[in-house]
Amino acid sequence: MPELVKLTIDGKEIEVPAGTLVINAARQVGIEIPAFCYYEGLALQAACRMCLVEVEKAPKLLTACTLPVAKDMIVRTETPQVAAARKGMLEFLLANHPLDCPVCDKGGECELQDMTFRYGAGESRFSEEKQHIEEQQWSPVVFFDRPRCILCFRCVRICNEGMGVAALGVINRGARSEIAPNKGDHLECDECGMCIDICPVGALTSGIYRYKTRPWEMEYAGTICTHCADGCKTTLSVRNGRVIRGNNRDHSGINGEFLCVKGRYAFDFLEHPERLHQPLVRRGVELQHASWKEAVALVAAKFNEVRERGGAFGVIGSARTTNEENFYLQKFARSWLNTNNIDHRRSGDVVALLDALAGLPGSLATTADVYHAGAVLIVGADLAQQHPLLSFQVRANVRHHGARVYVVHPHPQREDKVAAQVVRARGLAGIGQIREKLAGEQSLVVLFGEHIQGADVRRLVEMLPATARYVALVDYANSRGALDMGLLPDLLPGYQPAPAPGLSLQEMVGASLDVLWVVGANPLQGRARASGFLVVQELFLTETARQADVVFPAAAAYEKTGSFTNVCGEVQRLKKGPAVAGPKTDLEIMGLLARQMGHELAPPLPEAVFEEIRRSVAGYNIPYATFVTGAASATQYPNGPIARQGSSELIRSARDTLFTSGTLGRYCSVLNSVRERDLVRVEE
């Protein structure tokens, strides 16, 4: 612990650790010192001069954002002199500012507007000609309006320090200074929109949101990103039932201010013209529109018929449906369709990891651990492409805590730049080269990709210090939850052994089953169906849906309540954003089928199913209060050997990039538009 320093701010005495900046010390006693360029976690600038304060015995005003506390310091943040300085700064800022608030996207949530309201002058004394510069488009996502820019350099820093991309810089000098892409007139970057999000004014705007609405005309739903497994919180801004914007509005949740391009912008698949709104039933060779009633009756009758004659079912679930839906699906399959032929597309060997961690409790890393650990080992994964949040956490850890990063991967990747050591080799052999160094790391977090699977996972755990914590990287928003909920032919929820293991996904798609039921997956991509009757629940007419006998239009995760479990095993709550007409949630569809079949499964309500999960699935007895307030709860793992009867070789990551997201990603116009200028994908 650093020593405590006592000081007085506006007459309030406080004690804070040495090294604390006055601006943060003030916050602790509820005094908000205005600031534009200061941004917690990013390099100090002292550029905007908004945070000037009076310090006793100092000959002039000092910037609170760069001033460390000192013993017995006396700070005053609201004196006439300070007020005059602030007013002066705002007057300077507004001199060349276009004052087009009525049409600016930022109007209503603009820091300059707020600040002017609080401290500014009512009218402008600037009667010279303003410098006008045309608005520029730098990418499909990023637009820049120079006259609105107050040159706080937040965008430059978040891109450079936060993202490790460094796509933005400053050109010219003096009043002609401009933020500009380092590539000249365009960006080659992650398109994450972090720069836009962090911009205090409306200088950076997004092609997705600009000029669409005003902030006060929207409703907000904080939910979880539907794309990768990292589980970022994203707030959907909804107007008239349409999602207009995604951002992590209150910077809460495991990702703080972070979102990648997918969590922030890739929501327009919801409104894709090919979105299914009505059930489809095959009549002759053609799939034709049908009523819900007809489609449900047809499927229920078929299911009952096959069930009664003891026919073969196959069930393929999803890595993007909720825990509640996955739990319900496997229960439906196992208890009612009497089959263990249930699986989903597996992308990382979580099962082998949990098995290997038997007897090592507390050895799964949380998202926060990736930020706090003394060292991070990344093996066989391109984190910046596949796990943007974890990649962000790693960089933040290096910046703020000086973490040592080890990269073991045959190909170059962004993490190399912050690495203490890079080993250009694969998996365990690569780790072997730095084993001694790693042995000395007492606070090590290990992130490993799909290549380490089966027995190698155990070897990995044996090679590394017993205190190490792990993340088995998986692909999608609920990949981890699908495993936990027992969408596996050999394991029930909570990794309990299934009495008689069923067929794997790969086996099911090739087998001549009587019924194949696919919920939110596209396993027949590039192959013909082998089963007798195919039922698909989907958002789009995918390659699989196209071959179906019945297609139910499903709601997307953004249109549901429920929960996801992220790559680190943290459970978070989904909140329904837009209302959707036509499609139903997978849970509702299953509920309709069960009722039609005359089977009394638990009520298909997310809350009820979640309660059952909390009661019955090992490790999921998480605090309800944490869950409903939108925070992440880490789940526990069995901490005992897992009786696996299947094989790990079936595991295969889709290896999405920043700009792809499996089948879903193909229906996101933003991703399509930036993909062409994709960062060179690190292919294995």
Q: Choose which of 14, 29, 74, 95 interacts with other proteins (CB under 8 A).
A: 95
503 binds, among ligand SF4, ligand FES, other proteins, none (CB under 5 to 8 A by kind): none
> By CB under 6 A, which span of 229-237, 446-454, 503-511, 530-538 interacts with ligand SF4?
229-237
Residue 47 binds ligand FES, judged by CB under 6 A: yes
> By CB under 6 A, which span of 129-137, 198-206, 321-329, 335-343 interacts with ligand SF4?
198-206
Residue 3 binds other proteins, judged by CB under 8 A: no
Residue 166 binds other proteins, judged by CB under 8 A: no
Q: How far is the CB of 107 from ligand FES (least distance, A)?
A: 22
Residue 141 binds ligand SF4, judged by CB under 6 A: no
Q: Which residue is nearest to ligand FES (CB)?
A: 65
Rounded CA separation 31/26 (Å): 5
Closest CA to 406 of 453, 444, 372, 364: 444
Rounded CA separation 521/544 (Å): 8
Residue 636 binds other proteins, judged by CB under 8 A: no
Tokens of 443: 């606070």
Residue 263 binds ligand SF4, judged by CB under 6 A: yes
149 binds, among ligand SF4, ligand FES, other proteins, none (CB under 5 to 8 A by kind): ligand SF4
Q: Is 462 left (phi over 0), alpha (psi -120 to 50) or beta?
A: alpha
Rounded CA separation 434/456 (Å): 17
Residue 260 binds ligand SF4, judged by CB under 6 A: yes
Distance (Å) of CA 12 to CA 3, 16, 215: 20, 12, 36
Closest CA to 511 of 525, 493, 527, 529: 529
Rounded CA separation 383/338 (Å): 40
Q: In what order do the strands lie in the sheet with 404-408?
A: 421-423, 404-408, 375-379, 444-448, 469-472
Q: What sections of 210-318 are H helices per DSSP?
A: 261-265, 292-308
> By CB under 6 A, which span of 2-10, 200-208, 340-348, 399-407 interacts with ligand SF4?
200-208
Q: How far is the CB of 89 from ligand FES (least distance, A)?
A: 9
Are β-strands 633-634 and 570-574 bridged in parallel, bridged antiparallel, or unpaired? Answer: antiparallel
Q: Which is nearer to other proteins, 126 or 624 (CB)?
A: 126
Q: How far is the CB of 66 from ligand FES (least distance, A)?
A: 7
Give yes or no for a contact between 515 and 305, defined as CB atoms under 8 angstroms apart.
no
Closest CA to 389 of 627, 660, 118, 192: 192
> By CB under 6 A, which span of 43-51, 75-83, 284-292, 400-408 interacts with ligand FES?
43-51
What contacts 518, CB < 8 A, 6 or more positions away?
315, 316, 524, 534, 535, 536, 537, 538, 544, 548
Question: What are the φ and ψ backbone dihedral angles of 542, each rounded to 5 degrees?
Answer: -75, 175
The DSSP symbol for 568 reads: T
Q: How far is the CB of 75 from other proteins (least distance, A)?
A: 17
**Three-class SS state of 136:** strand
Residue 39 binds ligand FES, judged by CB under 6 A: no
Residue 262 binds ligand SF4, judged by CB under 6 A: yes
Residue 88 binds other proteins, judged by CB under 8 A: yes
Per-residue mark of binding to ligand FES, 55-94 (x: CB under 6 A): --------x-x-----------------------------
> By CB under 6 A, which span of 42-50, 177-185, 267-275, 476-484 interacts with ligand FES?
42-50
- Helix, strand, coil percent values for the chain (each to nearest 5): 30, 20, 50
Return residues touching ligand FES (CB under 6 A): 35-38, 46-51, 63, 65
Return residues touching ligand SF4 (CB under 6 A): 149-155, 179, 198-201, 203-204, 225, 227-228, 230-232, 259-260, 262-263, 388-389
Return residues touching other proteins (CB under 8 A): 44-50, 52, 60-61, 66, 84-85, 88-89, 91-93, 95-96, 125-126, 128-129, 131, 150-151, 170, 172-177
